[in-house]
Chains A and B, each alone.
Chain A
Amino acid sequence: MHINILMATFLSTFWGMYIAQSVVHSFVAAIIAEGAIFAWKVRTPQVKQWFRFIVISLPLILYPAYQLISSDRGNIYFRISSLLDTNRWFLIERWGLLPIFLLFFAILLFSAIVFILQELVPILSHLAGQTRTGDQSINNNADHAINKKVLKAIDGLPVDARIIEIFDDDDLALYSSTGLKPMIHISTGLIKSFGVEHLQVAIAHEIAHIHRSRRPMLIFAYLLRVLLFFNPVAAIEFRRLAYEEEKVCDDMAIALTGKPAILSEAIEMLRPEPEDFGTGETGNAADRLVSTIEHYGHDALLKSRAARIGRYDGHESLWGVPVIVASVFIIVINYFIV
């Protein structure tokens, strides 16, 4: 059978239509969500997270819901009168008579591979690592001065000193692990480099992460994103949602400490040095390129976070009406996209 007819056959099946339409619906949902953020001048990261969440979640269920409403949605009558018939694009034959759908399919395949290599494998190996070391006691050899500095920093913060683990590392490292036994891990390098106030806002940020993990929108969004592993729009929106989480925790840290300028400085201190970009890798040129891109990306995120805190005005954006209106438009418009 000719490849075009094979493609057309696949695109008329449930899964063919689901894959094609869920990606296009995500794309349209992302545009509408950005439109709503612009229209209502949304600046609050929690509200932005709701928009990212609906962009990830709605396209997952829209196609089956539409098919329940109208099972004839895939036939030619509906397609002819639709707002956008994706088959008109997908079945265009270019470049040696191959339909554009093959290019689209290649993008989805690439997105699925990136998901497996960059998200699934690291998470699984991290979980495996946690299982192996979960019962080991923490060997805390931090000296008295370091302990004293940390205790001084957490004074007044809603945190139990026992959940703080200090590990011996000259790098500036600070992260939290959530779950049943939440922990905050701080490197000795960071404690030595940071002043007490900087250390306090940094720990407050991690406390916010632990506090937020009790209402795990991010985990739920990730599970939905796993189901749409082939969808590049869902991948981008999930990353943006995770990035907004950092901003939410920044805002919570400011609310806990009342020190926005100090937090901004602390974030600036965590930015990688330009000479670190693309170095330190023992691998080949490709590894160094990936390392450079990652460093630039990380640096850009930290830079924008620090800049945002500089502009922090405690302004609360509207969320109910914008989120509902955007959702309704996403649902209605996508119905006419097949």
Chain B
Amino acid sequence: MEPQANRIVKSLQGLFTMLAVIICVVVLLVALNWLPSLIQKDYARQFQNVEEAKKAAGMATILMPAYFPEGIEWPPSFIVAQKKPYQALMTEFVKTSSGATFLVIVQASSPEASKQFLRIRLHDIREETGYVLRGRPATLRVGICDGTLCSEIQWTERSDYYDVVYKASPFELIKVAESMIR
């Protein structure tokens, strides 16, 4: 019995020491994650309001919709912006009734942003077509996101790429997108 008891005690002692080691590792990782922000503040961060995000991203102009479908809340529920490696600003809007994200708008200086910044993604694209959005050539897609009908429109304006995804019909999405261009 004695060696067996010894092994259990050794196991437990080791476990406690290991937990202390793991706490140190986690603290080290958190510090390593924080350190780059002292060196370069331009990497993607969350912001409380659009003005702050616009300033941080160094964007001269940002396009926001003037029209919001019923039930979609202003202000944005989640805002992320970055200046480097490319300028990007993403805003998310939730539906009042469910609290779930229904509308996402990405404005960026690189088309790469769409891969990184879209929380809602069209998984099953049922239709893709060219569309003229107030004189600008755009691509309109209709498909399914998270089991519901979803639409996406992409266009380029000046040197910025725009991507708007809305969990609704393309007609509603076009109204939102058109209201962004004044």
Question: How many angstroms between the C-alpha atoms of A273 and B24 in the bound complex?
Answer: 43
Q: Are B43's CB and A87's CB within 8 A?
A: yes
Determine if A337 and B117 form an interchain contact, defined as CB atoms under 8 angstroms apart: no
Q: Of the listed stretches A52-60, A78-86, A223-231, A253-261, name the one at the interface; the rest are far from the partner chain.
A: A78-86
- A36 sits at the interface (CB 8 A): yes
How many residues of B are in contact with the other chain, CB < 8 A?
37
Q: Mark A296-322, 1 if CB is under 8 A from B, else 0.
A: 000000000000000000000010011
Known: A321-B11, A325-B15, A337-B29. A80 touches B45 (CB 8 A): yes
Give chain A's interface secondary structure class.
helix
Contact indicator per residue, chain B 107-148, by CB within 8 Å of chain A (1) or not (0): 000101001111100000000000000000000000000000
Mask for A88-120, Cβ within 8 A of B = 1, else 0? Answer: 110111100001000000000000000000000
Cβ-defined partner of B43 (8 Å) among A28, A35, A39, A88: A88
A214 interface residue (CB < 8 Å to B): no
Q: How far is the CA of A38 from the CA of B29 in the complex (A)?
A: 20
17 CB contacts below 8 A, A to B, read: A4-B86, A5-B112, A28-B25, A35-B18, A36-B14, A38-B21, A76-B44, A80-B80, A84-B29, A84-B32, A84-B33, A85-B33, A92-B39, A94-B39, A318-B10, A321-B15, A333-B25
> B-side binding surface: helix, strand, loop or mixed?
helix
Q: Which residues of the other chain, B, contact A12 by a CB distance below 8 angstroms?
A: 112, 115-116
Instruction: Give residues 7-55 of A contacting B (CB, 8 Å).
Output: 7-9, 12, 28, 31-32, 35-36, 38-41
Cβ B44 vs Cβ A80 within 8 A: yes
Q: Indicate if the CB atoms of A9 and B7 lie closer than 8 Å.
A: no
How far does the Cβ of B71 sit from chain A's closest Cβ, in whole Å?
Answer: 23
A7 to B43, CA, bound (A): 14
Q: Is the CB of A329 within 8 A of B80?
A: no
Inter-chain CA distance A59–B22, complex, in Å, is: 18
In the complex, which residue of chain A has the Cβ closest to the Cβ of B112?
A9
Say whether B169 faces chain A, with CB atoms less than 8 Å apart. no
Query: Residue B33 contacts which of A5, A88, A322 (CB distance < 8 angstroms)?
Result: A88
B86 contacts which of A5, A94, A321, A333 (Cβ < 8 Å)? A5
Query: A2 within 8 Å of B by Cβ?
Result: yes
Q: Check A28–B14 contact: CB distance below 8 A.
A: no
- Once bound together, how far apart are the Cα atoms of A98 and B16, in whole Å? 43
Bitwise, A49-77 to B at CB < 8 A (1) or not (0) is 00000000000000000000000101111
Using a CB-CB cutoff of 8 Å, which residues 1-47 of chain B contact chain A? 7, 10-11, 14-15, 17-18, 20-22, 24-26, 29-30, 32-33, 36-37, 39-40, 43-46
Interface residues of A in 192-214 (CB under 8 A from B): none
Residues on A with beta carbons closer than 8 Å to the beta carbon of B11? 40, 318, 321
Residue of A nearest to B17 (CB): A39
Closest residue on chain B to residue A317 by CB atoms: B10
Within 8 A of B (CB), among A267-325: 318, 321-322, 325
Does residue A326 face the partner (Cβ distance < 8 Å to B)? yes
